[in-house]
Structure 1
Amino acid sequence: MADLREQRVCIKFCFKFLKTTADTHQMLKEAFGENSVGQTQTYDWCKRFKNGRTSTVDDDRSGRPSTDTTSENVAKVRDLIVQDRRLTIQDLCNTLGLSYSTFNKKFYRDVLRRLREDTRGKRPEKWRMNDWVLHHDNARPHTAYIVQEFWAKNKMTVVAHPPYSPDLAPCDFFLFPKMKMKLKGRRFDTVEEIQAETQTVLNALTKKDFQDAFQMWQKRWDRCMRFQGDYFEGDDAE
């Protein structure tokens, strides 16, 4: 990732010239691309400068400085989550001194690593023939360089996802709506209750549910190609 202090200097420069935080964040994205700091960090540093701060150096932290996803940091993240499952990714980043974008793309790379291992254990024939593909949208963690490097190293076939298209990922149009229908209007007292109920929904899915999802997936792709990537609304659009 680009030097965080360099980006903080840029934030300070924009603040001095009375740029809004939204404009500052947009300029950082244009200048640093996928390596730019997240919106939350941009707003946080703008607020610090507004409150009179002049230094762009990190606040002192006790102990050894953290550096990305070392085995030490992985263990720390795990311990923090066990202690408090309500912690957000931003909370973890602030505690460990990691950037939000770095955390996201490295976390996603680890998700793909687990996916490959699950495929090897549950679909050994597809693993041997490398007869499976990955489909996800163009979210920044999904297209980060370290993630693309992981694809190439492990010879993973990734299905292209057109920009500005309707929901084409099965999780978006199939899995998440099913879960929302079961959880809608209900209150849960603990994260564990939410996890248990979510697992119940997943366990209730049948083979036919997944067959229907992939048939719908193909129909959506066909419709997207028929419209040549132009916007359309609703599954029944022709």
Structure 2
Amino acid sequence: MTATYYVQNVLSQVKSAINEQRLKVSTSRTLLLHDNAGPHKARATTQSLHELGIQVLSHPAYSPDLAPCDFWLLTILKDRLAEGKFDRIQDLTKVVNSEPWTIPEEDYQGLFRKWQIRLKHCIESPGEYFEEL
């Protein structure tokens, strides 16, 4: 994924979802957690997020244990993708783009509870290695 693709395709969906949530909970402050991937740190991305009024939470370097995609979402996607065979890249792309929408809201809420536990554990064990939570 490139920064251009991320800005044009992903952030537009993020903006729509944020606007929808703002109507429900009447908040103007939005925080977004990004990992340190190139497209997330690119100038085009940071500029677009600034224009959208979205504040990005800093993510510690070399901390995949704190990236929900690394410890949760990718595992789910890999399991679901293993169930099928894709003859065309378009078919794979369609499944990868649609699968996150099929995950129940309760599972996402559980993810954020697990994420908070991971964050707390990292803070309490500064720099020390720890086993999977």
What's the TM-score once normalised by structure 1's chain length?
Answer: 0.48
**Is 1:179 matched up with 2:74?**
no
Match of 2:107 among 209, 217, 222: 209
What is the aligned partner in structure 1 of residue 30 from structure 2? 132
Change in CA separation of 1:149 and 1:230 when aligned onto 2, cut-off 3 Å: farther
- Residue 106 of structure 2 aligns to which amino acid in structure 1? K
Q: Give per-residue Cα distances to partners, 1:213-238, cap 9 Å, x unaligned.
A: 11111111111111224443311xxx
Match of 1:150 among 26, 43, 48: 48
Change in CA separation of 1:201 and 1:116 when aligned onto 2, cut-off 3 Å: closer
Q: How many residue pairs are counted as aligned between the two chains?
A: 132
Match of 2:67 among 142, 165, 169: 169
What is the aligned partner in structure 1 of residue 15 from structure 2? 116
- Residue 53 of structure 2 aligns to which amino acid in structure 1? K
Shift of residue 209 of structure 1?
0.7
Classify the secondary structure of the residue corresponding to 1:214: helix
Shift of residue 207 of structure 1?
1.9
| Structure with a larger share of its residues in strand | 2
Change in CA separation of 1:124 and 1:224 when aligned onto 2, cut-off 3 Å: same
Shift of residue 203 of structure 1?
4.4
Identity %: 31
- Residue 5 of structure 2 aligns to which amino acid in structure 1? F
Which whole-Å CA distance do the structure 1 matches of 2:44 and 2:90 have between them?
Answer: 32
Which whole-Å CA distance do the structure 1 matches of 2:112 and 2:35 have between them?
Answer: 16
Which whole-Å CA distance do the structure 1 matches of 2:89 and 2:74 have between them?
Answer: 18
- Residue 194 of structure 1 aligns to which amino acid in structure 2? L
Q: In the alignment, is the contact (CA less than 8 A) between 2:31 and 2:56 conserved in 1?
A: yes
Give 5+ residue unaligned stretches, structure 2: none
Give 5+ residue unaligned stretches, structure 1: 1-88, 90-103
- Residue 233 of structure 1 aligns to which amino acid in structure 2? E
Instruction: Note the aligned Cα RMSD (angstroms).
Output: 2.6
Q: In the alignment, is the contact (CA less than 8 A) between 1:133 and 1:156 conserved in 2?
A: yes
